[in-house]
Amino acid sequence: MFPALTETTDVYLDSAATTQKPQQVIDAVRRYHSSRTANAGRGTYPWSTTLARDIDGVRARAAEFLGATPEEVVFTAGATAGLNAVALAWGLANLDDGDEILYSPRDHASNVYPWLQVRAMLRRFGREIRLVPYRVTALGEADVEDIAAKLTTRTRLITVTHLHHVFGALTTLEEIRGRLDPRVLLCFDCSQSAGHLPVDVTALGADFAVASAHKMFGAPGTGLLYCARRVHDQLTAFLPGGNSGVTHTDSGLAPARMPDRMEGGTHNIPGILALGAALEFLGEVGLDTIAGHNRALTLRLIDGLRPLPGLEFLPGPAHAPCATGYGIVSFTLAGIGATDLGFVLAELGFLVRTGAHCVPPRSGASADDDSVRVSTHLYNTAEEIDRFVRCIHTIATEVR
């Protein structure tokens, strides 16, 4: 089912970085490059028109996957590109002097740096916006009460990670959504949740949401950006050019219909077709099945590591009062740095992520802030988790 895993005895525990690819995804990429390669919708001949229909089909499937409509789904170069599109196509056009954005400094850099960039760009035009940080709880979730306390009449957007890429904690903002002014938009980074558990952007109350294809069995270089219908009139063209559908007038560029407005240039056609195959695969397996599998492995990993002296869990499911987990656990081990531990584990056949995991550096931060992150998926087994736990126990005994 996953060809790359049949060629090795290594245990892959880094699915939060990228997932392994099922055969049908690999076949979709190979088929595009080896048979009837064309540019979708740029010609009237069957090769081109068929591809255009295929891409429309993937968009429809992606919309169903997210709980959206096809015109609300934009194909991007990835989640980072999607978040930058929100910052540039919405932020530059709508943020006024004194407006505020609430964000977490402990989120992935892709959910932080675009807003820092927009703030710097707006300063050049005499507009000063405020980026207001909110806290993260010991469970790794966004601190909803802290967010509520920091809401003002100038708050325009709250950006949040749905499933945290280091802490493995789920945030929905459910507790405060009913208290928000309609002018306050919600942006969710669903890079880790999409493909791991059911995601419904309508139920989340999202105005924007992003997903990364390569983290949900698809190919790198492709992503999804959800833009709720109510924000369409607030969006300027992103990457205007061929295929973006905008028209030139004396006053500038007239916006095109969505989603063309946000999709200038040639699509990543093999990436989109691969995404379609990945969505089909996810539908066959079932997101509830995947979520249950990852939950069981998460709890097994936590229970196995918890007795170890010197092992400290980062915020996340290990600190939750109830049994929960989404396939991501991060920890440190006394006596050995995270990077060194990662090297040792790799030598022993366990592939994990180490370091700061793309969290923006904090003032005074050092290598002590690094950790080991274990992230599981459908292809991991309980036996692999048990072997990993035994390996960590052996290393802990040696470093003591």
- Residue 334 in contact with residue 310, Cβ under 8 Å? yes
Backbone angle region of 179, left / alpha / beta, with phi > 0 → left and psi within -120 to 50 → alpha: alpha
* CA atoms in the 13 A half-sphere facing the CB of 325: 24
Q: In whole angstroms, what is the distance from residue 171 CA to residue 188 CA? A: 9
Instruction: Answer yes or no: 391 catalytic.
Output: no
Active-site residue identified among 190, 227, 322, 358: 358
Helix segments in 151-254, DSSP class H: 201-204
Helix (H, G, I), strand (E, B) or coil at 391: helix
Q: What is the DSSP string of 279-296?
A: HHHHHHH-HHHHHHHHHH
Provide long-range contacts, Cβ within 8 A and 24+ apart, for 152-155.
Answer: 152/100, 153/181, 154/98, 154/99, 154/100, 154/130, 155/99, 155/100, 155/101, 155/102, 155/181, 155/184
Rg (CA), the chain: 22
Tokens representing 361 are 């550096």
Active-site residues, by number, are 358
